[in-house]
């Protein structure tokens, strides 16, 4: 094993920024082989490093990225979940479009499927929605459409290099690690972030990343079902950066009828058509209510709305008047006309 990996795999003490720096330098120098990479990824997947080690990981990666804008994009929110939990349709992607249709500025970062049937990027490919290729391109999309779906450029290049060295072992094998940390590794200069956590309580390690210096105002959401989105069919909890919580009792804002089965995904072949039906609000009452709840969270977290009930009502109106589906179709048409660059 390369010496740079020893403190990261051994874990007798927290890994500091120097340890991670040594790893990235060894990677850049071509000093790591496939066995080294697989050992590292297996260790990270088996058990996440502690909070200080994860903060040091993020800091070391940030130093290797281009300088971010001097200030975050105001009233702009990123929505991205950790994956895992019971399978559902692509609720975060749909709620991003729904929130944007009500006037919220939304960035949606995401990835291909590691644990889900269809990841957000897989679905966007099927729909014909473009991904952005740089921060400037993302800002252009926000200005034109009020929403932007970011390409892989927001994630550290070091992870791509690790993936290439791991071939032919697919990165899906390490999906738990990638999904869990992914929301906190994307370099998106937003003012707020809403991240669903597939656990009944956010692990302390994720709290450490969500509250790191320089992080956007980050909400972590949980529910007893362990889903990484807010669900209409059960109670939910929003965990705020100051350590307090905001409970969302079942039935308080939207009807609580139905079960998780009503939110289940369809086959890959049917995913695009079903997604369009979801954006009309006529794919079932539980799906409609769940979308309204998640879109409202984006509106309130971003500061676009102060009142949850008002945000829920406006989301329902955007389903009924076709604004959400219309936004999707405009994004597809822009790509068809050649008006959008694809990552």
195-206 pLDDT, tens digit per residue, is: 999 989 998 888
Residue 205 burial (C-beta neighbours within 10 Å; 0-12, 13-18, 19+): buried
Question: Based on the number of CB atoms within 10 Å of its own CB, is 208 exposed (0-12), middle (13-18) or buried (19 or more)?
Answer: middle
CB 206 within 8 A of CB 180: yes
Whether 328 and 128 have beta carbons less than 8 Å apart is answered as no
Q: 107 has which bridge partners?
A: 78, 148
The rounded mean pLDDT for the chain is 90
pLDDT at position 13, please? 83
When comparing pLDDT for 309 and 340, which is higher?
Answer: 309
Q: What is the DSSP letter of 114?
A: S
pLDDT for res 337: 66
How far is the C-alpha of 343 from the C-alpha of 341, rounded, in Å? 7
- Residue 246: the pLDDT is 97
Between 22-36, 152-166, 220-234, 293-307, the lowest mean confidence (pLDDT) is in 152-166
Whether 109 shows a pLDDT value over 60: the answer reads: yes
pLDDT of residue 341: 42
The structural domains of the chain, ordered by start, are 3-62 (1.20.970), 73-150+186-336 (3.40.1030.10)
Least trusted range by pLDDT, from 47-56, 136-145, 228-237, 310-319 = 47-56
Q: CA–CA separation, 237 vs 258, rounded Å?
A: 19
| Least confident stretch, 179-188, 223-232, 238-247, 289-298 | 179-188
If pLDDT is split at 50, 70 and 90, which confidence band does 139 have?
Answer: very high
Q: How confident is the model at residue 213 (pLDDT cuts 50, 70, 90)?
A: confident
Q: Greater confidence, 163 or 286?
A: 286
Q: Are 253 and 312 spatial neighbours (Cβ–Cβ below 8 Å)?
A: yes
Q: What is the pLDDT of residue 115?
A: 45
Residues 35-38: contacts with CB within 8 Å, 24+ apart?
A: 35/1, 36/1, 36/2, 36/5, 36/165, 37/162, 37/165, 37/166, 38/166, 38/169
């Amino acid at each position: 094993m390369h010496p740079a990996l020893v403190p990261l795999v051994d874990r007798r003490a927290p890994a500091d920024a120097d340890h991670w720096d040594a790893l990235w330098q060894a990677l850049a120098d071509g000093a790591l082989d496939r066995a080294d990479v697989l050992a590292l990824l297996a260790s990270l997947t088996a058990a996440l490093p502690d909070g200080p080690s994860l903060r040091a990981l993020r800091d070391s990666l940030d130093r290797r990225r281009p300088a971010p804008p001097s200030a975050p994009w105001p009233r702009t929110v990123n929505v991205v979940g950790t994956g895992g939990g019971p399978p559902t349709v692509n609720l975060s992607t749909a709620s991003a479009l729904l929130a944007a249709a009500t006037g919220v500025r939304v960035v949606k970062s995401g990835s291909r499927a590691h644990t889900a049937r269809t990841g957000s990027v897989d679905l966007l490919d099927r729909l014909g929605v473009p991904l952005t290729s740089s921060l400037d391109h993302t800002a252009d999309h926000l200005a034109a459409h009020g929403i932007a779906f970011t390409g892989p450029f927001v994630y550290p290049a070091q992870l791509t290099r690790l993936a290439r060295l791991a071939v032919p072992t697919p990165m899906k094998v390490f999906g738990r690690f990638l999904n869990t940390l992914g929301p906190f590794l994307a370099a998106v200069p937003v003012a707020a972030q809403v991240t669903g956590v597939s656990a009944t309580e956010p692990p302390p390690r994720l709290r450490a990343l969500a509250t790191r210096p320089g992080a956007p105002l980050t909400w972590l959401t949980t529910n007893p079902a362990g889903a990484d989105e807010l669900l209409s069919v059960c109670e939910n909890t929003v965990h705020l950066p100051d350590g307090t919580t905001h409970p969302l009792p079942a039935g308080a804002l939207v009807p609580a009828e139905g079960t998780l089965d009503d939110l289940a995904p369809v086959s890959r072949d049917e995913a695009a058509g079903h997604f369009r039906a979801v954006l009309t609000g006529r794919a079932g009452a539980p799906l409609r209510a769940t979308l309204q709840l998640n879109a409202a969270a984006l509106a309130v977290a971003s500061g676009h709305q102060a009142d949850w009930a008002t945000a829920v009502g406006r989301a329902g109106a955007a389903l009924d008047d076709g604004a959400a589906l219309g936004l999707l179709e405009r994004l597809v048409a822009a790509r068809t006309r050649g008006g959008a660059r694809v990552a």
